[in-house]
Structure 1
Amino acid sequence: MYKVIGATKSRALRVMWMLEELGEPYEHIACGPRSDEAKQYNPSGKIPALVDGDDVLTDSVAIMQYLADKHGKLTAPAGTPARARQDAMTFWLIDEMDAILWAAAKHSFVFPEEQRVPEIKDSLKSEFARAAKILSDRLEGPFLMGDSITVPDLLATHCINWSIGAGFPSVDDKLGAWAKSTRERPAFKAATSKEA
């Protein structure tokens, strides 16, 4: 059985949601970043980590794609144009949404107070709003890559949720309704119901 290390209110939720979508059982070890528990699985203390047998994997997006590939679900097959398009969307979301949210977090509570630059957050919010508009314009089907849910859907929804918690401006109605529909999936609800 898989083990997911990390707090539900972190990027570990992405991995838990992925496993719920796949119907794979897992043990959740709730712990915060840089905790002694987290450092047992990742010396840097970053979360999440996934234990699969003797292997420990890190980075939420790498873990999600590994699980998708391993189980042959929520992904286009490797080596296909559809997969290249999916990977392009995934990398775009990491660059244009996740990285912006992480930068805002660093200047809110991660960095020591003397290293924070609170003024940067306004420009980050503006950049996120620009990216959210682009994503909304690209959304044509029920999911980002068409008719089936894939890794980018989980990543984008998590970023939108994170933006709400971080006090960023709301996304437009189209993207907001789409994110609401993905949050209504039973797998998302099962993942979010776990201990923090």
Structure 2
Amino acid sequence: MYKIVGYPQTRAMRVMWLLEELGEPYDIDPAMPQSEGIREVNPAGKVPVLIDGDLILPESIAICQYLADKHGKFTFPAGTKERAIQDSFTQLAVDVLEGALWTAAKNSFIHPKELRVPEIKPVCKAEFAEGLRILDARMGEGPYVMGETFTVPDVILGHCGAWAVTAKFDLPKEGRIYDYFKALRNRPGYKAMMAKVVAAAAA
């Protein structure tokens, strides 16, 4: 059984979602970022960390791609053209969309008050909006970024969409990107993951 170290209402959501999609059992150690529990397995103090036997793997992107590759689902094979395109969508999600959300978060509550630059947040929202424009321009007929096949970047992008709601970033109220995020939220794996996140928050 897999073990996720990290409080569910973080990037651990990505790993939980993918494991729900894979139908693989997992336990959660709800360690908070920078806590003693997480520093024991990740000196950076970042969550999540995946424990798979003797493998201790930090960084949610690496974890999700590892799980997809290991189980041969929700990914194209390495070295194929499709995988190259898939990875480019993952990079867009991380560099542009998550980058804007993370920078805004760091300057809202993560950094010590004396290090925050709240004036950067409108720039972050503009960068996020530009990322959505690029995503819209790059997507084909859908319903997912790789067409009919649900893949790792859909997990990352779907999490960014949920994060944007809590961060009060603007999301489209109609159109292809609206339909895309709605399709992701309607997946049974996403719903199962969110039920566990809500339960953890209420505990």
Equivalent residues in 2 for 1:37-52, closer than 5 Å? 37-52=37-52
Contact 1:20 1:188 in 2 (8 A): yes
Map residues 126-165 of structure 1 onto 2, 5 A cutoff. Answer: 126-139=126-139, 140-165=141-166
Aligned to 2:98: 98
C-alpha distance in structure 2 between counterparts of 1:144 and 1:7, whole Å: 28
Q: 1:184 maps to which residue?
A: 186
Unpaired stretches in structure 1, ≥5 consecutive residues: none
- What is the alpha-carbon distance in structure 2 between the residues aligned to residue 128 and residue 26 of structure 1? 32
Q: After TM superposition, give the deviation of residue 18 of structure 1 in Å.
A: 0.6
Distance in 2, Cα, partners of 1:86 & 1:70: 17
1:172 shift after superposition? 4.9
- The percentage of aligned residue pairs carrying the same residue is 49
Distance 1:130 1:172, change over 3 A: farther
Distance across 2 between alignment mates of 1:176 and 1:141 = 12
The within-5 A match list for 1:160-175 is: 160-173=161-174, 174-175=176-177
Q: TM-score, normalised by structure 1?
A: 0.96
**Deviation digits for residues 108-140 of structure 1, max 9, x if unmatched?**
011100110101000110110111122123222
Deviation at 1:142, TM superposition (A): 0.9
The one of 185, 192, 195 equivalent to 1:193 is: 195
- Residue equivalent to 1:115: 115
The normalised TM-score by structure 2 is 0.93
Aligned equivalents of 1:129 and 1:83: distance in 2?
26
| Residue type at the aligned position of 1:177 | D
What residue number does 1:17 align with? 17
SS of corresponding position for 1:74: coil
Could you list the structure 1 runs, at least 4 aligned residues long, displaced by more than 4 angstroms after superposition: none
Q: Partners of 1:137 and 1:92 in 2: how far apart? A: 12
